[in-house]
Chains A and B, each alone.
Chain A
């Protein structure tokens, strides 16, 4: 009986992976038999072989480190500015009147449309990519912080005042925790935008990083490296997602909606 249960558990766990595995097997077979040309799509086995080769030479890790460094730096710069303006405009109506209209106007420009201008300003150096990533990350964090604060129940703040909390305590004990769920949603969006922006920026103008690696491989028709780069972006994106989930698990434990995430 328990054996059967265990078996059921295993099947349940394995089932979601059966489709990707089947696709990989079919893909490998089609490549081996030459139905798919390696110039169009390399066999999964050759992608793995390339990954191992580039890892051993240290080239892969170097590119990953450079790309991740850019992503994180840009995220921290843009995210901090977004957080600061979100709090400022969420708490002080005067700041909102002053800044919000301008921010909303800039928000409607797709930040990737600035690439030609950014290249003119900064060349193809790291500044250009950091600028674009920061800009892309700024808006989701700003908007979600702002609305997170605006949506805090006024009654809670009134209660805090009745119970003798200072402005600083109101901020730390009520406003920040109250806005946190919304801020984390902003972080999640921002992490997605962070990778997309970096991929585009590295593909268009760069001399290092995963995007550069992929564009360089295109020149030599090394489809295995291109596919590897795409897979790397997927993995790094998943890593960012795991990171936000860990934050949610830690900070949102009180919220039944997040329990068991």
Chain B
């Protein structure tokens, strides 16, 4: 397999998405260098998942667009893969067949290789139904990586896992990302996860980017490192800060 493969250059320009009368994203601009790991955080409903679906080609922009390697994106691409929050495994296929889904030719050896990457080669012939939540997400990760995508989109992939499994998954994702060099876009509501994994943490609020925080810390990152904690606190405080007019009106109400 080719670990030196280049990641995709991603550019989102003036991207606007409306559903009916509701504007989910407002002229958003974002750029990711090849091989860069970007985490997108924000409260639920801020539009972060919609951004990811637009980059995946699962939704079409209302205005603006997405460029992958400077080419406009029109629909699904075979070098872009998505890992979803729910593993979306096919229960009626064995683990290995799930990993090899959509592959042509010698899929078996590729799928075995991908399963080895996530440490589940011995479960290849099992039904997905008997795996734990963490194992299912590892299978989903193997399925996403088997075709060696140059852009991996992660839509809250660890949201349903317990804290210890999440830490394991963080290490696994980081290792595979370093080995394979794809560009990664991670949508998460967990700020710590974002700071652990990403080169840049982008905060979206009401369909707009309000913070773009670089994380220049050595990997693997130490969660107890004061700098780590400082960045994490800064992002969390920004997430929790409410628009000023709301605060003042609340104060006004209290005074009355």
Contacts and interface: CB of A to CB of B under 8 A. Distances in A.
B102 interface: yes
Interface in B89-124: 90-93, 101-102
Interface of B is mostly: loop
Contacts of A174: 90
Nearest to B97: A173
B56 interface: yes
B219 interface: no
7 contacts: A155-B88, A156-B88, A159-B88, A173-B93, A174-B90, A177-B90, A256-B129
B129 A255 contact: yes
Nearest to B94: A254
B234 to A, nearest CB: 34
Nearest to B87: A159
Contacts of A169: 102
A155 B84 contact: yes
Contacts of B147: 163-164
Contacts of A164: 76, 78, 102, 147
B81 A162 contact: yes
B129 A254 contact: yes
Interface of A: 153, 155-156, 158-165, 169, 173-174, 177-178, 180, 253-256
Contacts of B86: 155
Contacts, number: 53
A236 B249 CA distance: 77
A155 to B, nearest CB: 5
A201 B86 CA distance: 51
Nearest to A161: B76
Contacts of A161: 58, 76
**4 residue pairs, one from A and one from B, having the closest CB atoms:** A163-B102, A159-B88, A177-B92, A164-B102
B82 interface: yes
Given A158-B58, A162-B58, A254 B91 contact: yes
A159 B56 CA distance: 11
A255 B130 CA distance: 10
A76 B130 CA distance: 36
Given A173-B93, A173-B101, A174-B90, 8 more contacts: A162-B80, A163-B101, A163-B143, A164-B76, A165-B102, A173-B90, A254-B128, A255-B91
A165 B98 CA distance: 12
B228 interface: no
Specify which of B82, B91, B92, B129 lies most central, judged by the most chain A CB atoms within 10 Å of its CB: B92
A164 to B, nearest CB: 4
A43 B86 CA distance: 62
Nearest to A166: B102
Given A155-B88, A177-B90, A165 B101 contact: yes
Classify the secondary structure of A's interface with B: helix
A83 B50 CA distance: 37
A254 B130 CA distance: 9
B117 to A, nearest CB: 17
Contacts of A158: 58
Given A156-B90, A177-B92, A162 B56 contact: yes
A174 B81 CA distance: 18
A253 B147 CA distance: 28
Contacts of B81: 162-163
B84 A159 contact: yes
A253 B56 CA distance: 34
B13 interface: no
A259 to B, nearest CB: 9
A248 to B, nearest CB: 13
Contacts of B78: 164
Of listed B76, B101, B143, residue having the most chain A CB within 10 A: B101
B43 to A, nearest CB: 23
Interface string B121-151: 0000001111000000000000100010000
A169 B97 CA distance: 14
Contacts of A160: 101-102
A7 to B, nearest CB: 36
A4 B157 CA distance: 54
A35 B81 CA distance: 79
A88 B91 CA distance: 24
B242 to A, nearest CB: 33
Contacts of A253: 127
A170 B127 CA distance: 20
A209 to B, nearest CB: 39
B89 to A, nearest CB: 9
Contacts of A180: 92
A163 B78 CA distance: 7
A162 B76 contact: yes
